[in-house]
Structure 1
């Protein structure tokens, strides 16, 4: 009996995965405004009714895709570096982890920052939107913790972490759009230089 239940669950999980993969393709092509459950169902090879048995609307599908993206991001950051290392090394490892995750997975960058065809974060609901924002912050929090360990108070650590994130996102956007080539620069090298500069500046500052 348990084997049968496990098999049914595996089949259900596979259908859900296929639906999400199809939805990602449709969102990339049409954006959330242009997408429809019917179009997602067609892409997945299912009926619209089958889609509705898993998701109440296309915004719920988008939320599920974004949640998976953020879980992957958190996993990458959690496994990066050695927690027993000094705070400067931890900061460098964790920052490089989230930057690298978005750099090597530009579709997650699109998804996480609503870059697909002018997509906007509407229709997710306040509770879901807050939960997704919290998971993004969870991925960034190890950098903030490392900054605190380097001697910054909570307010200053938050400010520096925000600046770090903003700098990284700007570079990722330049890389993603190809605009970085007009400067003849490498986004990863520029980000690494920013992090090294941040560490050196904090190490020079009096405790």
Structure 2
């Protein structure tokens, strides 16, 4: 019956009809002589080009799907600073404060499940001038020793022996901790400190920040 034939052949694209090759169906398809399913249908027929055009008109093309669903690497910022009650010279007090900020910053990153990729050290002088320098870690890390190492390197590079310092600030550009590689070392001291960090973090959460930390952050009153 003609109606049955139409209902059977109508939904098929031209290149799928009997006696029509893919090459032969390309010309009619280029002129727009092809069939597509009804707009409400979840299926799409025809060549890859027509499927892309259909998906694009519906706002669900491959480009749209990739832009809205592509996972984006999470980037966060951690910032801590300390102001001195009076101007101080670079020495034990400055280093103790830098170590305390480093310890708190690393703990903050671990609590967020992040790792520092770049750390910026900023120092404000008594005349309100400021020095700031970023330093990229060899590998993203939230371990205190790794962050402390780059902070001290920047401070040493400033050469602040005679400068009067009023403020120290640390800013970390952080990435998702899952992206941070696990570094295997043969340094038993570092490995012991890394294993102790979750315990220290738990104690500080329970009893208050700074309950457990490096002894070097304690300075004479």
Q: Do both proteins adopt the same fold according to a TM-score greater than 0.5, normalized to the shorter chain?
A: no
Larger radius of gyration: 2
Q: TM-score, normalised by structure 1?
A: 0.31
More strand per residue: 2
Q: TM-score, normalised by structure 2?
A: 0.30
More helix per residue: 1
